[in-house]
Structure 1
Amino acid sequence: MKSLFLVLAAVLMVNPAENVYQFSITSIDGKKVDLSQFKGKKLLIVNTASKCGYTKQYAGLQELSEKYADKVVVIGFPANNFGGQEPGSNDEIQGFCEKNFGVTFLLAEKSSVAGEDISPLFKYLTEMENPDFTGEIKWNFEKFLIDEQGNLIHRFRSKIEPMSAELTGKL
């Protein structure tokens, strides 16, 4: 896995990504997902964790994914970068999310969203200009809103609830 990230990072250094549609991810159940399949809809990309004070936001993310299904695709990226708050395996994370929050939105495999082994997608997202802020993710449940053309248009810190007017007003 780490070598795959290094190869992708090297390719992106030579050919920088123009938008998120140039990235592929692996779902929590091991399937390749090309983000380009979501062209024409917004994406809400969120780094998640099962043992965080913000974990209850899974419910809001599920509600948002259902209520705004015609406009936005929610993708959760479980990550153990902050306080060891996502220690489980992909199977454990998936089971936890389904049992406790009824999650049906797309979950990616456990990923790194910060540090030396940051995934290429999150490296791209944290470096992209947007009207809010750039730079490293500070904690679990930061949110990146991508427009229908694959461009980062807004970024929200962890405290912003998925169903808040601040976020849903941008959809």
Structure 2
Amino acid sequence: MTHTQTRILWASILVITAAITAFLPQLCRSSELGTHSFPSIYGGRIDTKQWQGKPYLVVNTASQCAFTKQYADLQKLYDTYRDSGFGIIAIPSDDFNQEFDSNAEIKSFCALNYDIDMPMSETLAVTGAQAHPFFKAVRAQSGFTPRWNFNKILIGSNGQVLATWGASTRPLSQKLTHAIDAELDKHR
């Protein structure tokens, strides 16, 4: 084999390897996220297994953000759909430097200002290497990573990421409630 043929062979191998590496994550994506457990800010654990076969929404939150007022609508959304089996988990995170220093402060703030009783975790990382396994699984399945506070991830009854929305999408927006209604209608 000549030197030119060897270079062409190695270049071809590199191109094929790059193509396989780019495509491999899509091939390895799980059909569902599986179940995840979060430490509850109220004590105990929040297990997504309770919503197996039903949709649920996960929202990364922060108490000192311009979008913090969305807590009120998240609670209304939870109140509207919880009897249908729909779940919500608020995940306080300081990844964007807008959360209180302690879980006790967060819990008190949410109770006093928004009368929150929806499931809420302790403060967790939602981005990067320290992200909770749920957020890593969402990223692996859909490519979505929260880019700010109050990003919304709707998990369908099949355990897959059904839709994601950024902070500017309000919890009671039609696009979000229509997606929830459509998913719940599959089981009515």
Task: Render the CA deviation track for 1:81-100: whole Å, top value 9, x for unaligned.
Answer: 01x10133111111111110
Equivalent-residue separation in structure 2 for 1:90 and 1:42 (angstroms): 27
Q: Where do 1:121-160 residues align within 5 Å?
A: 121-129=134-142, 134-160=143-169
Task: Render the CA deviation track for 1:85-144: whole Å, top value 9, x for unaligned.
Answer: 013311111111111011110001110001221111111112322xxxx33311000000
Equivalent-residue separation in structure 2 for 1:45 and 1:116 (angstroms): 19
Letter paired with 1:72: F
**Higher-Rg member (1/2):** 2
Equivalent-residue separation in structure 2 for 1:122 and 1:24 (angstroms): 12
Which position in structure 2 is the counterpart of 1:78?
92
- For structure 1, which runs of at least 5 residues remain unmatched after alignment? 1-15
Which position in structure 2 is the counterpart of 1:55?
68
| Aligned partner of 1:165 among 164, 169, 174 | 174
Taking structure 1 as the reference length, the TM-score comes to 0.82
Equivalent-residue separation in structure 1 for 2:141 and 2:33 (angstroms): 11
Contact 2:33 2:141 in 1 (8 A): no
**Do the aligned partners of residues 119 and 53 (structure 1) sit closer, same or farther apart at CA in structure 2, a change above 3 Å counting?**
same
**Do the aligned partners of residues 87 and 25 (structure 1) sit closer, same or farther apart at CA in structure 2, a change above 3 Å counting?**
same
Letter paired with 1:80: D
Structure richer in helix, relative to its length: 2
Shift of residue 22 of structure 1? 2.5
Contact 1:44 1:74 in 2 (8 A): yes
Figure out how many residues of one structure are paired with residues of the other and give that number: 152
RMSD between aligned alpha carbons? Answer: 1.8
- Percent of paired sites with the same residue: 35
- For structure 2, which runs of at least 5 residues remain unmatched after alignment? 1-28, 181-188
Moved over 3 A (4+): none
Taking structure 2 as the reference length, the TM-score comes to 0.75
Letter paired with 1:86: E
| Aligned partner of 1:114 among 97, 102, 127 | 127
Shift of residue 34 of structure 1? 2.2
Contact 1:49 1:79 in 2 (8 A): yes
